[in-house]
Amino acid sequence: MRTSIQLKIVLIYLCTIIIIMLISGTYIVYSTEERSYESVQSTIENMAENIEERGNWNLDDLSNQVDDQYEIYCLDSEGRVESTTGGKLSIGERVKEEVVVRAKRTKKSATAEISHFSVFTGSEYTDHARVILNKQGDIERIIYIKANIVDVHNNIFSIMKTITIGLVLAMFITGFCGIVFSNMITSPIKALTNNSKKLAAGNSINRIPVEAADEIGELTQSFNYMASQLSTTMEVITSEKNKLEKIFEHMADGVMAFNRQGVLIHVNSVCYEMIGATSMAPNFEEVFENIGLEVNFEELLAGKPYEGADQTLTIGDRYLKMHFDVYLNAKKEADGLVVVIQDVTKQQKLDQMRKEFVANVSHELRTPLTTVKSYTETLLDGAIDEKETAMHFLGVMEKEADRMTALVQDLLELSRIDNKQIQLEFVRLNLKPLLEEVLEAQYIHIIKHGHQLEVGYDKKEEYFIEGDLSRIRQILHNILSNAIKYSPEPGTLGVYMKKENAYVIVEITDTGMGIPEEDLERIFERFYRVDKARSRKMGGTGLGLSIAKELMLLHGGDIKIESQLGQGTKVILNFPEAVMKML
């Protein structure tokens, strides 16, 4: 049970005053009782001396002269009563009191010893025995006097009562003063305690007023200074903590921290996304068991390098790399483990795309080069003398050379776009006449393949955009030629244009073979073909849609493809509408 310092101070005051009052009261009672006894004993000794001087041993005539407080007896040498002033002892009765026995033994006068605190022991009298010797030195008579000490007791009781009342009053006064004085001491301490608890809880506090220039005042000043410094330090720490939390939260890498016991103490939101979880296990072992990674926490904490640092962990469609490092405490001892998770999915995909790109370029070039080399060798072997055969071979070689030239040109075009070396001349242009121009240029191919063309747009409306005329024409030619080539004969092509939400939208549809849903996400990748054999037969390089998408992005627009296998394809071109400039 906790006892307050204020109560302790009050109890100390009370105990001190009680002890002082008890000691002083005891001394007063002791001294008063001793003086009272000495006064009574001196009186009875004088009375005995007077009787001896009187020489008359018959005490009857003194009965009326002696106060009732005293009993006087004249005893023979054996201690028997010979005469009395009217005491309680009868004539001839032997007196056995201690002073009489002592006087007979010593042949000297004897007085009862002072019995201190007799008020509690029940003694009601004190006595004196005076020995009267004959000429031979033997006891002739003994004057024995008893004195009642009730008055002494009453006086002692009165003094004790006074002391008790004084003690009670002193306790009340001391208690009141103790409460007042202790409150003067404890109030600043309580204020310090309450503010210390607030500081420990991380709350701000007001400055405590210094009410005295004593040790408590110095303590209060020191506390105020400490609180000010601590508040400043806490603000700095809080600021740094918030800063670090924001940094962790917006880091591209996932970060997890574990304490010395392996308990998870920090994780940023990126970690949840990377490992595909909505909640995280509470400790190290469970976290990495759930993602299928075998690592030993104690070994890592001891500084052993992680053996799989160069390996890539696959979780779902993500590729992750794990980095483990130990953080130290103030004593430079291992205090926990930090895990940094890097998402290398993009790098992996870029590496894969690079490999596929090299393989595709090699393949695209190898096929026509092999054809040209084969026909060249055949011509060199004598086929050149056969004019019809030679002309056929040369035609095939020319076609393959044109194919390689187109491939190289497309690659150079993409390279210029990637390296931002392409020059675009943005002008305000009307998309309607440009679209009509492209349709007119492609119309012969539409007829050649037996397709029907449907055109839909408001001929009274003007469709202004800002862009590079030649590049916009290139995009339209590319998309329309794809629709013509990949639609089975006869087919139906649709070209529609409209305005919507500050965009000029061009939709080109066909009734071709369509694109499977799983291929739609990759349709804009370089060299990606849904039907590779058919695409090469049509003379495509596999780069047309990639170039179209890059050019649309450079114009601030977008290109989308909607398709279902066997039901045709819709290509949607979104061009930002040109804003009318006010003069």
Confidence of residue 393 (pLDDT cuts 50, 70, 90): confident
**Contact 127/146 with Cβ under 8 angstroms?**
yes
Residue 406: the pLDDT is 66
Query: Which of 11, 312, 240, 40 minimizes the C-alpha distance to 156?
Result: 40
The helix/strand/coil state of 327 is strand
Confidence of residue 566 (pLDDT cuts 50, 70, 90): confident
Sign of CA pseudo-dihedral 525, 528, 531, 535? positive
Query: What pLDDT, in 10s, does the model give residues 305-333?
Result: 877 666 777 877 788 888 888 888 888 88
Tokens of 130: 């005076």
The helix/strand/coil state of 132 is strand
Helix (H) or strand (E) holding 196: helix 150-200
Percentage of the chain exceeding pLDDT 90 = 0
Q: Which CATH superfamily is domain 250-347 in?
A: PAS domain (3.30.450.20)
Find all residues with CB under 8 Å of 250, minimum gap 6, and list them. none
Question: Tokens 């291929």 correspond to what residue?
Answer: 519
Residue 17: the pLDDT is 85
Residue 582: the pLDDT is 47
Question: Tokens 């909640």 correspond to what residue?
Answer: 279
User: What is the torsion angle, in degrees rounded to the nearest 10, for the CA atoms of residue 475, residue 476, residue 480 and residue 481?
Assistant: -50
Confidence of residue 367 (pLDDT cuts 50, 70, 90): low
275 or 439, higher pLDDT: 439
Task: Decide if pLDDT at 532 tops 60.
Answer: no
Tokens of 313: 């962990």
Task: Decide if pLDDT at 583 tops 60.
Answer: no
CATH classification code of 349-416: 1.10.287.130
Average pLDDT for 381-407: 74
Task: Give CA separation, 312 vs 50, 319, 350, 356, 556, in Å.
Answer: 129, 6, 15, 20, 37
Query: What pLDDT, in 10s, does the model give residues 105-139?
Result: 888 888 888 777 666 665 777 888 888 888 888 88
Q: Domain spanning 423-576: which CATH class is it, in words? A: alpha beta
Query: Which of 542, 422, 415 minimizes the C-alpha distance to 478?
Result: 542
Which CATH architecture is the domain 5-157 placed in? Answer: 2-Layer Sandwich (3.30)
Q: Which 8-state DSSP code applies to residue 204?
A: -
Percentage of the chain exceeding pLDDT 70 = 87
Tokens of 357: 């790109």
Find all residues with CB under 8 Å of 270, minimum gap 6, and list them. 249, 251, 252, 253, 254, 255, 341
3-state secondary structure 344-380: CHHHHHHHHHHHHHHHHHHHHHHHHHHHHHHHHHHHH
Phi, psi of 463 (to 5 degrees): -115, 85
Q: How many CB atoms lie within 10 A of CB 519?
A: 17
Confidence of residue 533 (pLDDT cuts 50, 70, 90): very low
